Amino acid sequence: MVRIGTVVMGASDVRRAASFWKSALGYVEREPLEDGWVVLVPAEGHGVGLALGRSESPVQEVPRVHLDLYTEEQDAEVGRLLALGAERVAWELYPPDPDFVVLADPEGNRFCVIDTTHGQV
């Protein structure tokens, strides 16, 4: 049996990306950022980690892999994430009555904020 331990994302400015995701998720650095690499983990110690590594690859406009952040307070969380430096993405692929909002982190990596009160998640 295996499980997901860490999700890895690229960033051209790892320090900036780490600052955003630490604030967005309440995560902390497992070890100090070094050589363009850092692993962030939940402050309470349990859950999936987020690793950020220096990358010069362009961001995919429609990424094959992305993060879904679950919340019962979508509007408030979207507002909080925008204040932290996220940006709204003009997403033409929304279905009717979507339960998600597409945002991008300061590096341009897309992620979704899912309204868990909208239906089953």
Q: What is the dihedral of CA 37, 43, 45, 46, to 10 degrees?
A: -90
Query: For residue 30, what pLDDT is reported?
Result: 96
Domains belonging to the chain, first-starting first, are 1-56 (3.10.180.10), 65-121 (3.10.180.10)
What mean pLDDT is reported for the chain? Answer: 95
| Whether the Cβ atoms of residue 4 and residue 98 lie closer than 8 Å to each other | no
Question: How do strand 67-71 and strand 110-115 relate by DSSP bridges?
Answer: parallel
E-only strand ranges, the chain:
6-11, 27-29, 37-42, 49-54, 67-71, 87-88, 100-104, 110-115
Q: The whole model's pTM is what?
A: 0.91
Q: Report the percent of the chain where pLDDT is more than 90.
A: 91
| Whether the Cβ atoms of residue 31 and residue 50 lie closer than 8 Å to each other | no
